[in-house]
Amino acid sequence: MSANMELARTTDAGLYVSLVQSLALPQNQKQFLINIQNIQQKIGNLTPHYVSTSNLLNILLVHTLPGLIPYSIVLQAARYILETSLEKEIGPVEKEIDNEDNDKDKDKDTEREDHDIENKVEEQVPIQNETSLIETADNLLQETNHKAADILDFEYNKFASVNANLLGFLQAKTFALSQFYNDLNEIDDLFDNIEFREFQDWNEGVLMPYTYYWSNYGAEYSLSLMSLQTYLQSSYNEKFDKLVQPLTNGQIQTSEEWLLQTIIPLLKYHDYNIDALDRWMFQVYKGSILKKFGLWNIVFRLLNLEVLKSEHTSTTLMIKMKTKIIPHYLASCYYYNLNGNANSLSSVELMKLYDTIKATLANILDNEDEFKNEPKELLLGEVDLSVGSNETMTYKEFSSESNPLAILFKPEYAPFLLRAIATCQRLYPISQITMQEYLQLKLTSDNSNDKGNGLSSNLAQKELMKIMNNVNATNWKLMYQLILQFKNEFVLNSNRAKADYVIVERLLMSGLIEESEELVRDHKTELSPIEIYEVFMDKFWESFNSANNINDKIGHLHQARRCLDIIEQLPEYTQLPATKREKIIALKHLFKAMSAMKNFKIVVEKNKPFTPSQLVKFSNHSAHEQLGKKECFLLITVILEQNPKSYLAFEKLFRILNDLLLYFELDSSTVDTNLYFSKLKTACIESALVDNNFSYAYTQSIELFEHFGNLLSNDFNIDQFWLTFYQVGKFVSPGWLDNADPQEMQKVWIKQRQILSLTLQRLDCGDHSRVILDQWNKVNAKLEENSRDTNVANMRQFQIQKEMNNAKSDSAWSLGLHPQDIINDASHSTNKAGEKISNLFVSGLGWAIGANR
């Protein structure tokens, strides 16, 4: 550049000093811009030393004081200076100047132009002393540039774009004004109509967070206020700490809005440097557990929104989140749930905490494809719960990589935590399962070789029992869904049957027979036929022994009956061993017996109703130890004793006895039906005698003898029944003692003699034969005596009749009847009666002495 292209130093200094002087006086907006424009026009293409672009911008930074020039004019001036910059980089001369005359003309024009500028400067700045002017300009220049560069941190870059230099100017000018203002709204004219991206980023990431901070916090908490000047000159970490301090102190109620307007923009402006955020979230913030997790949830939700904004943001932010705050958040979830902090919460608060954690994890998992796969399973033994969940550990110790639980803090295990929290939340209302118990159930097993989610059978039974404790008919369907979740979450395939056994067992204990039937009938369990049999039989005996009556239509006995029916109706019933099927058949016979007995009065314990358990115990009593058999017949005798007319229902009693025998003997081939039939007959006969019903006793005795006649000789010993027949033969009704009809008595004695005769004839009574024979003699004697009395009475009657006939002989002859014929007929009748009695006597005595054997 030739020397004549430089602006004269005196002129240059004068322009510089005049501009600085003009800024010290109030001016209208137009005049200030005119001054700038005039300087640019006066300079033209000359190269100034004092009024260069850099120095003009520094003058605007340092010497435009508040209240003198509107900030919008300052902005316009700066933009104008930059856009019409005089400092342009000149490249090397590419070709020689051929026309020497042209150079001479240009030099003349330049000299003329310099002369004109000097004249104009003299008009504005009277130059009294050229040396003094230069010195003044130098001093102003040095001071101004020092403030601009060292204090306001501004330096014009001639190689940068207009926007880049303008942004630097605005940043420096904002800092310069911050010594006068805290409220950026008072200088917002400085930023009018600026739309380029770099400024918008700075405005949104730096200025707007402070504006929100000032508007919503500064006025009310002025003592702890961070000034705008302090804010602008602070580092990123210092800005972060100051902006987040109101949240740390609990002075802000709308946490989400505060974070959205201050912290998130600041993070974004600093390329999502989340170190400060991570430190504040997990080390600095000291709110309650609910407030912590609530705040963390807000942070992750807002970060999630940032991730969604662009692919670049998604990649950058997610990488930083996965290395910092996600692992720390997972560690915090385990720390506060395992180390007792969550135990201090009420049930409502704990459910709220679970909801918050689930929402946060959903935000974490929402934007990472690798998280959308099935939760990564842990191998059993990878986590040592006894060490990793020590309650004395600090958070710093707990979250360190040396913690055996650290594997759970890896981002890829976030789905595992989400499933754990969801499971704990669903099961907590019915089992109060905690995270500690979840991990124990999930990561421990009876078999150390098991892999995947495992479950100790003891833990399974304990937890399932807790879940099933509150099951009832109303909540069963909902509970069943929770139970299925429990099984799917914790129970190994090898333990499914054990878990199903507990489920069905607990349902039965709760009286939910139909629901239990549905599970086994529809194959919703993995129980084998044997296991189904056992679990229902356990319930059967529990209900059977608890029943307070023998009516199987109601109460506990009805439940017991339903258990039998369910087992019998199973499609797999035929797969049961024969012994178990026979047991079911025997029990059904027992129920048939109880059903037939329920209408009888039965008391075996004073003031207590007759129950199935009493039936079993009573019938299980052995009256004949030498036989070693269960004596059911005692119960029948009780019925006969306590129900006076029950002997009339022999068939019903025999069915009861037979069903009881089939139950207690189990093997029907061992039951001697003929023996018990005969024993029951004799018992009914004796009961009839007690009831003064000789006719029934006689009839049943004859039937029993007929029954004996049809038996084979080796069926059983019928001789044991001699006493019953002896009682029939000896029976004397109280009604016979007074005014008994001789003819009726004769019929009775004939029947008694017949029974005694049959007893002597059919039974080997041994030493008892003499007793029976004595009774036979007594009955026979009564018959003979009665027969003689009857003959005498007949003869007397005959004499009377004869006299009457003589009196009426005339009448008889007139009727053609001869008196001798009448006498012959009477004599013949008497002889026949005596012959019949004599034959009976001889025949009976013959049986007694064994003449016809």
pLDDT of 567 higher than 70: yes
- Residue of 784, 761, 792, 756 lying closest to 841 (CA atoms): 784
pLDDT at position 802, please? 56
What distance in Å separates the CA atoms of residue 361 and residue 326, rounded to the nearest whole number? 9
pLDDT of 96 higher than 80: no
CA distances, 440 to each of 330, 415, 420, 429 (Å) = 18, 18, 12, 19
pLDDT of 247 higher than 90: yes
Q: What is the mean pLDDT of the chain?
A: 81
What's the rounded mean pLDDT across residues 741-754? 90
* H-type alpha helices, 547-644: 555-569, 578-597, 612-619, 633-642
Task: Give every CB contact of residue 505 below 8 A, 6+ residues apart in sequence.
Answer: 535, 538, 539
* DSSP string covering 283-346: II----HHHHHHHHHHHHHHHHHHHTT-HHHHHHHHHHHHHTHHHHHHHHHHHHHHSSGGGGS-
* DSSP string covering 767-814: GGHHHHHHHHHHHHHHHHHHHHHHHHHHHHHHHHHHHHHHHTHHHHHH
Residue 47 DSSP symbol: B
Q: C-alpha angle 111/117/121, rounded to 5°?
A: 145
pLDDT at position 807, please? 52
- The tens digit of pLDDT for each residue in 469-524 reads 888 899 998 889 888 888 888 887 888 888 899 899 999 999 999 999 999 999 99
Tokens of 663: 């139950």
pLDDT of 829 higher than 70: no
Tokens of 749: 């004695």
pLDDT band at 42 (very low <50, low <70, confident <90, very high): confident
More confident residue, 447 or 355: 355
Asked if residues 48 and 19 have their Cβ atoms less than 8 Å apart, the reply is no
pLDDT band at 700 (very low <50, low <70, confident <90, very high): very high
What distance in Å separates the CA atoms of residue 186 and residue 253, rounded to the nearest whole number? 27
Q: Note the Cα 557 to chain centre separation in Å.
A: 32
What distance in Å separates the CA atoms of residue 154 and residue 231, rounded to the nearest whole number? 17
Task: Give every CB contact of residue 96 below 8 A, 6+ residues apart in sequence.
Answer: none
pLDDT of 619 higher than 80: no
How far is the first Cα of the chain from the last one, in angstroms, to the nearest whole number? Answer: 170
What distance in Å separates the CA atoms of residue 346 and residue 751, rounded to the nearest whole number? 90
Tokens of 759: 């007893």
- Scored b (16 or more CB within 10 A) or e, 729-745 reads bbbeeeeeeeeeeeeee
Residue 375, Cβ density class (10 Å: 0-12 exposed, 13-18 middle, ≥19 buried): middle
pLDDT at position 12, please? 87
* H-type alpha helices, 148-272: 162-177, 197-202, 208-213, 228-232, 236-248, 255-258, 264-269
pLDDT of 596 higher than 80: yes
- Residue of 170, 167, 178, 154 lying closest to 230 (CA atoms): 178
Asked if residues 300 and 364 have their Cβ atoms less than 8 Å apart, the reply is yes
More confident residue, 31 or 75: 75
Tokens of 368: 């990472």
pLDDT of 580 higher than 60: yes
More confident residue, 367 or 180: 180
Asked if residues 422 and 358 have their Cβ atoms less than 8 Å apart, the reply is yes
Task: Give every CB contact of residue 678 below 8 A, 6+ residues apart in sequence.
Answer: 704, 707, 708, 716, 718, 721
- The tens digit of pLDDT for each residue in 650-668 reads 999 999 999 998 888 755 5
CA distances, 539 to each of 43, 452, 467, 552, 560 (Å) = 110, 35, 19, 15, 7
pLDDT band at 369 (very low <50, low <70, confident <90, very high): low
pLDDT above 90 as % of the chain:
45
Asked if residues 1 and 43 have their Cβ atoms less than 8 Å apart, the reply is no
- Residue of 594, 598, 612, 588 lying closest to 666 (CA atoms): 588
pLDDT of 121 higher than 50: no
pLDDT at position 69, please? 83
What distance in Å separates the CA atoms of residue 70 and residue 190, rounded to the nearest whole number? 8
pLDDT at position 387, please? 55
pLDDT at position 384, please? 64
Per-range mean pLDDT, top range of 111-125, 370-384, 835-849? 370-384
Per-range mean pLDDT, top range of 34-48, 99-113, 140-154, 835-849? 140-154
